[in-house]
Amino acid sequence: MANIILIKRGQAANVNNLELQEGELALAYSQDKGEAALYAGNGTGKIVLNGVKTSDVTGALNSAKDYTDTKLSELVNGAPAAMDTLKELADAISSNSDVMEALQSAVGNKVDKETGKGLSTNDYTTAEKNKLTGIAENANNYTHPASHSADMITTTTDKQFVSSTEKSTWNAKLSSTSTVDGGTF
């Protein structure tokens, strides 16, 4: 047995007087038929299934068109009419071999992106990398010793050790009351 769905129809101006049984549908349209709404009976009255009016759809379409036109205008950004499409740009590049070669060369010299690393200039050489690889771990963690043994010092005629005996002899030669050039020290 086939179910038949009957839809009542009428003008939106008369929708307040419309009574729908549960499951019944009604289409209410404006006098100029430019706007419409679909109603359903719910057992206690009626509910609007779609409150979208034609003017709302038209407004949304106009808004989307304005947005698209703005973005296209920004993309073209004042380019001359002969160069404002991707096809025109591709034709111009392919017809000028100097530009094409320069573009291919520039793309060929780009720095490749490596996973986990950002792009940068290629100024870190393999030699520098190998030099850093050769440095032992913690090589820069030098701790200066609290004391040095005498064998660490190289003596010359200008730099020599002084013994305790020599220091005592020197100190005994000059007393605290000795006079030099008329002064006391």
Q: What is the pLDDT of residue 118?
A: 62
**CB contact at 8 A, 36 and 9:** no
Contact criterion met (CB below 8 Å) for 12 and 29: yes
Res 59: pLDDT: 72
Q: What stretch of H or E contains 164? A: helix 164-173
Q: 14 lies in a domain?
A: yes
List the one residue out of 114, 90, 112, 113 whose CA is nearest residue 103. Answer: 90
Q: What is the largest CA-CA distance in the chain?
A: 142
Q: Note the pLDDT of residue 183.
A: 45
Residue 24 lies inside a defined structural domain of this protein: yes
- Domain total of the chain: 1
Within-domain flag for 43: yes
Structure tokens at 61: 């379409």
Q: Domain limits at 18?
A: 7-52
Residue 139 in any domain: the answer is: no
Query: pLDDT 10s per residue in the chain (185 long)?
Result: 455 666 787 787 787 888 888 888 888 887 777 778 888 888 788 888 776 555 666 777 778 888 888 887 777 777 777 777 778 878 887 888 887 788 788 888 777 777 766 665 556 677 888 888 878 877 777 778 888 887 777 888 888 888 889 888 877 776 655 555 544 44
Q: Is residue 143 part of a domain?
A: no
Task: Spell out the residues 6+ positions from residue 120 whose beta carbon is closer than 8 angstroms to its own.
Answer: 111
Q: Are 113 and 119 in contact (CB under 8 A)?
A: yes
Residue 16 included in any domain: yes
The single residue listed with the structure tokens 């009428």 is 10
